[in-house]
Amino acid sequence: MAKRLGGIRRKTRYKFKKEKRTKGKISITRFLQSFNVGDRVYLDVEPAVQKGMYYPPFLGKTGVIEGKRGKCYEVKIKDFNKEKMLIIHPVHLKKA
């Protein structure tokens, strides 16, 4: 059986790169932000935090908060014709 190369961050050199002016410590307000059920959010990755990160194809998509699971949120997005549920940490989300 063949061994799989790479992981979740494979081929994301530029996709998950930070802007020059945003490098350094992450914003604590963005880390601790809260959302309500039904809020629309943008999926915007924070490369410094790997916990609760989603897969790279979903970068830039818009979703709806469906609920909360621990510290993370359940976000429903539409991927082509399918509805998908992602579990994402709030640091990777922005209000729409």
Q: Does residue 6 carry a pLDDT above 90?
A: no
Q: Looking at the domain assignment, is residue 56 inside a domain? A: yes
How many domains does the chain divide into? 1
Nearest to 74 by CA among 56, 59, 93: 93
Q: Looking at the domain assignment, is residue 28 inside a domain? A: no
Q: Looking at the domain assignment, is residue 9 inside a domain? A: no
Domain range enclosing 49: 35-95
Q: Which pLDDT score, from 0 to 100, does residue 2 have? A: 86
Compute the average pLDDT of residues 8-30. 89
**Residue 66 belongs to a domain with what CATH number?**
2.30.30.70
Q: Which pLDDT score, from 0 to 100, does residue 26 have? A: 87
Q: Looking at the domain assignment, is residue 62 inside a domain? A: yes
Compute the average pLDDT of residues 82-87. 97
pLDDT in tens, 25-68: 888 999 999 999 999 999 999 999 999 999 999 999 999 999 99
Q: Which pLDDT score, from 0 to 100, does residue 9 have? A: 86
Q: Looking at the domain assignment, is residue 51 inside a domain? A: yes
